[in-house]
């Protein structure tokens, strides 16, 4: 059974599984279509991804321009600060973000709906990160905004090392420069 916690931004949820543990270890469901549907969340996930990163790696803030993806993200090992930035047209929270610490220990997940930029910072020595997507990856459709955009003002955790970004992530424009707005009318 999954527990769904609303966040300050509509449609973004922190999801916590019920964990059954004993001296052998633990068991949990990480996704249940039935639980999602009971919350009015109808997603058909079509792709699972996994990454491994060292401390200080910051991936993001990413989105797909013409093929927006919803993501259900979680940490298998380590700890990350995970961020979803609202880019939906006419949203009262456009340009605002939700940030959550996800870890192998707390087993929390973040549901990032379509129309959001997504990114995370590894705050432990290393982390393994997994996510489900409801749209396939289209490399030609990639977009991004700066992780340190002052207009969004994400309060990234302080760590004892420099942030490590890909060359591509270093070149993303600000939200204002990108002018990205998702109009999701007619979407599922």
118-140 residue pLDDT tens = 999 999 999 999 999 999 999 99
Superfamily, domain 44-178: Jelly Rolls (2.60.120.10)
| Residue 185 confidence (pLDDT) above 80 | no
Cα–Cα dist 41/15, whole Å: 12
Position 82 scores a pLDDT of 98
Secondary structure letter of residue 66 according to DSSP: S
Given this model, what pLDDT does residue 188 score? 37
Predicted confidence (pLDDT) at residue 186 exceeds the cutoff of 60: no
Q: Which pLDDT does position 184 carry in this prediction?
A: 81
Per residue in 144-182, pLDDT (tens digit) is 999 999 999 999 999 999 999 999 999 999 999 998 889
Question: Any idea of the CA torsion for 59, 17, 46, 132, to the nearest 10 degrees?
Answer: 10
Q: Is the pLDDT of residue 28 over 60?
A: yes
Domain boundaries, the chain: 44-178
- Residues marked active site are found at 62, 131
């Amino acid at each position: 059974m999954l527990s769904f916690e609303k966040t300050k931004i509509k449609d973004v949820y922190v999801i916590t599984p019920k964990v059954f543990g004993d001296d052998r270890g633990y068991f949990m469901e990480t996704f249940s279509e039935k639980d999602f549907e009971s919350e009015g969340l109808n997603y058909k996930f079509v792709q699972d991804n996994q990454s491994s990163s060292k401390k200080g790696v910051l991936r993001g803030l990413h989105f797909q321009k013409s093929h927006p993806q919803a993501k259900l993200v979680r940490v298998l090992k380590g700890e990350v600060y995970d961020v979803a930035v609202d880019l939906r047209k006419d949203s009262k929270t456009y340009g605002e973000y939700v940030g959550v610490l996800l870890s192998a220990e707390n087993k929390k997940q973040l549901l990032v709906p379509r129309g959001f930029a997504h990114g995370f910072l590894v705050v432990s020595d290393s982390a393994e990160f997994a996510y489900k997507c409801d749209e396939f990856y289209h490399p030609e459709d990639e977009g991004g905004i700066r992780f340190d955009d002052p207009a969004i003002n994400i309060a990234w955790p302080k760590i004892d090392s420099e942030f490590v970004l890909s060359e591509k992530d270093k070149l993303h424009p600000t939200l204002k420069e990108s002018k990205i707005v998702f109009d999701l009318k007619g979407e599922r």
